[in-house]
Structure 1
Amino acid sequence: MKITITEAGQHVGEEVTIGAWLANKRSSGKIAFLQLRDGTGFIQGVVVKSEVGEEVFQQAKSITQESSLYITGTVQEDNRSPFGYELSVSSIDIIAEAEDYPITPKEHGTEFLMDHRHLWLRSRRQHAVMKVRNEIIRATYEFFNDRGFVKVDPPILTGSAPEGTSELFHTRYFDEDAYLSQSGQLYMEAAAMALGKVFSFGPTFRAEKSKTRRHLIEFWMIEPEMAFYNFEDNLKVQEEYVSHVVQSVLANCRLELGRLDRDTSKLEQIKVPFPRITYDEAIEFLHKQGFDDIKWGDDFGAPHETAIAENYDKPVFITHYPTAIKPFYMQPDPNREEVVLCADLIAPEGYGEIIGGSERIHDRQLLEERIKEHKLDEEAYKWYAELRKYGSVPHSGFGLGLERTVAWISGVEHVRETIPFPRLLNRLYP
């Protein structure tokens, strides 16, 4: 019977065949231990010379790292293994023998590993991170589908920029200018006026020359937009969504979190409601913490966000930022026009902003004024302004950066490990 490694628990005491790669091995006298992986998980194969004979035992001892094979044996419970099972091997059928696999069990430098990212993905740690990422994606669809949201796919090639063109990749679209999308938000607002509650999930691009551990050039965003939702409604969806994702990872990726040495007690605290502070309160707090350089009207950098987050054991909302430092489409506070009805959600443990969101301007005249103030191309944004002409309603939305969220939940230090093939400032290979 052919099975996958994750199905082993359903076949205790049975003889099975698994298609696998040899991740590592060691031998001790008359026993060989084979560390096997098949993409679904890892299991140890135990080859006992007295049970399989000289030929199979020598075969087990000579297999090279990352050779592919069909391995047959009996599934047994193993309390010493984090997985809980091992395979008592009876026969080995080698499919393809690997030659001089470059990533050995010894330590390698980051640049070397990034040059071999296509192979580094096979390691236990990278496998665990990708499984956590996959669970976050699965839980995202579950959350929004269960709440009546419709998945909408905005274009990647656009003729205008939601937040200005300074950080966009420019290209030619036949005989006109085009850009790789930095956000699908404006299109999602149009979709919300047609379908009520919508979300997108796709790649976005920022031509930002940053080398920090929080930045990628190409990354994935989850961007919901909701008609008839005000600022408070928006915050409620955000905290419920993040809590749902974290609890789903805890429920379904315990083995992977253990492999990453993640302190799950910190994740277990991530439940609604989340704390909130205003931008004004954040400035006051930072001054008390010795950040004398920050003044009202400045945006927060990574050190500021980290200092604020260290005060909390949950993600914290920073609300009501100054109008001047936020995008043109954000709704001003009706009681205080110098700030907007927006919030950034800052993850704990130094992982920074994972969500930016706001109530959107729904008054056509105000939006057109803002487009002019920001010196944007009025013709390019004509369709966006028209949304306010034909039955405008209060509406809100947000964007969550997948890779920063994966980094935080899995506990990895740098976002380059959170996407299969990262695009960084100086890296377009492999």
Structure 2
Amino acid sequence: MSDTINGSVYIADLPDKVGQEVSLRGWLYNKRSSGKVRFLILRDGTGLVQGVMVKGKLPETDFTAFDRLTQESSLSLEGVVRVEPRAPGGYELEVTAVHPLHVASEYPISHKEHGVDFLLNHRHLWLRSPRQQAVLRVRDEIIRACRDFFADRRFVLVDTPIFTPTACEGTTTLFETDYFGDRKAYLTQSGQLYLEAAALALGRVYCFGPTFRAEKSKTRRHLTEFWMLETEVAFADLEDIMALAEALLCAVAVRVLENRIAELTFLERPLAPLQAIRPPFPRLSYTESLKRLTAAGHQLAWGEDLGAPEETALSQMYDRPVLIHHYPKECKAFYMKPDTVDPRTVLCVDVLAPEGVGEIIGGSQREDDLEALLTRIKEHHLPQEPLEWYLDLRRYGSVPHSGFGLGIERLVTWFCGLHHVREAIPFPRLMDRLTP
């Protein structure tokens, strides 16, 4: 693709244009004046550049256009590219022409501190800030790294439905919707069940899309709509997918550290925790985890699921992700296969990120025996009829298979060093927020 649009170049390409006269288009980030010399800071989505206006070196009408340009006005600049280490990005433009395209109304987000609610109410504009742009660029790199990881291993991308007839993770966290008046449908909690069908057709598959949870939770780790990357592998057992999850996180860390150092530096994100993402990751059984938690002063009975405080305590014991496996059967989903050695537990794993982020990956070996799966469905009080198609996978060529899901926003939160997951998605959906 051409690196110009209608003759205009991008700010990111200015290092290759030193000494040349170019045209730039973008938005006014800031401006200042010292009499006969005026400075415009232009942003175009690829970076910032300082435009220097010297009275007498450009038409007077262009020089005075400075006075009516407001923050976030759109404009084009023409000028000669110069190296200037003190300027944003290390280059500046000796401006020869200014063409206002649209003079913006008074911009509601100024270069001062604003409250979180105010910024979320103006999320559509807050995205223009350098910090939010940096987060979104890291998010983009993470997603492309994940896709490349699976493509390089010959996994097939399979798109799974957003409307589903029943629950995958539990009936209490579903968003229900009317489906043409005669039945109910639900926004998907996970693409996993459909991905299992695809795995028995294609062997190694993954999906990536929005998922929904109606949990009434207001913690910094929760969204009602989030993006999840899920994978399913035929003939794989728990050990196989633990190794796959470890390899994926290591590969993504390498890519982000290779390509997004500038963004991480701008976010003031210490790099050491990301540089520590190297194999092998520590592994603990649920039972071993409880012993360590008890020693650290946490009181949790065997059989209870780990909550955010317990996950945080465990993850702080290590400098890299930790894999917690073999949880009690009672606190996990119906499709997880029990361990033959200890049937009280299931063959599952949660990957906990350090620095208080908590669970970023959840996976398991799936129950591949028809009768055992029927029993689990009854134990969880799930209707069998909507799951008949899923049971067919155990009737026609059932094989051991395993998979996991990765929450993209939690991974972005961790990599960027954010406090709240709401900054890790362009337009967050929370219990009390449906706009913009």
The separation in 2 between residues aligned to 1:296 and 1:355, in whole angstroms, is 22
- 1:246 pairs with 2:246: no
Please say which of residues 268-277 and 14-23 is displaced more in the overlay.
Answer: 268-277
The aligned length equals: 429
TM-fit CA distance, 1:271: 1.8
**Residue 277 of structure 1: aligned partner:** 284
Select 1:178's aligned residue among 185, 193, 217. Answer: 185
**Residue 268 of structure 1: aligned partner:** 275
What is the 5 A alignment of 1:158-173? 158-173=164-179
1:327-375 CA-partner distances (Å, limit 9, x unpaired): 0111111211111111111111111110000111111111111111111
The separation in 2 between residues aligned to 1:252 and 1:129, in whole angstroms, is 13
Select 1:101's aligned residue among 97, 107, 119. Answer: 107
Is the contact made by 1:320 and 1:341 (CA closer than 8 Å) also made in structure 2? yes
Is the contact made by 1:83 and 1:255 (CA closer than 8 Å) also made in structure 2? no
TM-fit CA distance, 1:99: 1.0
Is the contact made by 1:181 and 1:205 (CA closer than 8 Å) also made in structure 2? yes
The separation in 1 between residues aligned to 2:184 and 2:60, in whole angstroms, is 69
1:363-399 CA-partner distances (Å, limit 9, x unpaired): 1111111111111111111111110111111111000
SS in 1 for 2:395: coil
Query: Normalising by structure 2, what TM-score?
Result: 0.96
SS in 1 for 2:72: coil
The separation in 2 between residues aligned to 1:177 and 1:120, in whole angstroms, is 37
The separation in 2 between residues aligned to 1:44 and 1:208, in whole angstroms, is 47
TM-fit CA distance, 1:258: 1.4
TM-fit CA distance, 1:58: 2.8
- 1:14 pairs with 2:20: yes
What is the 5 A alignment of 1:100-119? 100-119=106-125
SS in 2 for 1:107: coil
The separation in 1 between residues aligned to 2:190 and 2:248, in whole angstroms, is 19
TM-fit CA distance, 1:74: 1.8
Amino acid at match of 2:287: D
The separation in 2 between residues aligned to 1:84 and 1:180, in whole angstroms, is 48
Amino acid at match of 2:179: Y
**Residue 307 of structure 2: aligned partner:** 301
SS in 1 for 2:39: strand
Structure 1 stretches lacking a partner, 5+ long: none
Is the contact made by 1:27 and 1:61 (CA closer than 8 Å) also made in structure 2? no
**Residue 393 of structure 1: aligned partner:** 399
SS in 1 for 2:107: coil
**Residue 67 of structure 1: aligned partner:** 73
- CA 1:82 to 1:313, structure 2 compared with 1: closer, same or farther past 3 Å? farther
Select 1:216's aligned residue among 212, 218, 223. Answer: 223
What is the 5 A alignment of 1:6-405? 6-49=12-55, 51-52=57-58, 54-81=60-87, 83-174=89-180, 175-292=182-299, 294-405=300-411
TM-fit CA distance, 1:82: 6.2
The separation in 2 between residues aligned to 1:385 and 1:291, in whole angstroms, is 40
The separation in 1 between residues aligned to 2:301 and 2:9, in whole angstroms, is 61
TM-fit CA distance, 1:81: 4.8
The separation in 2 between residues aligned to 1:297 and 1:166, in whole angstroms, is 20
- 1:2 pairs with 2:8: yes
The separation in 2 between residues aligned to 1:411 and 1:51, in whole angstroms, is 45
- CA 1:73 to 1:265, structure 2 compared with 1: closer, same or farther past 3 Å? farther
The separation in 2 between residues aligned to 1:84 and 1:317, in whole angstroms, is 43
The separation in 1 between residues aligned to 2:262 and 2:93, in whole angstroms, is 18
Please say which of residues 19-28 and 229-238 is displaced more in the overlay.
Answer: 19-28
Query: Normalising by structure 1, what TM-score?
Result: 0.97
The separation in 2 between residues aligned to 1:80 and 1:149, in whole angstroms, is 47
**Residue 415 of structure 2: aligned partner:** 409
**Residue 4 of structure 2: aligned partner:** none
1:20-48 CA-partner distances (Å, limit 9, x unpaired): 00011222343322221112222222223
- CA 1:32 to 1:209, structure 2 compared with 1: closer, same or farther past 3 Å? same
TM-fit CA distance, 1:163: 1.8
Amino acid at match of 2:200: M
SS in 2 for 1:262: coil
TM-fit CA distance, 1:76: 2.2
Amino acid at match of 2:328: P
Structure 2 stretches lacking a partner, 5+ long: 1-6
Is the contact made by 1:82 and 1:255 (CA closer than 8 Å) also made in structure 2? no
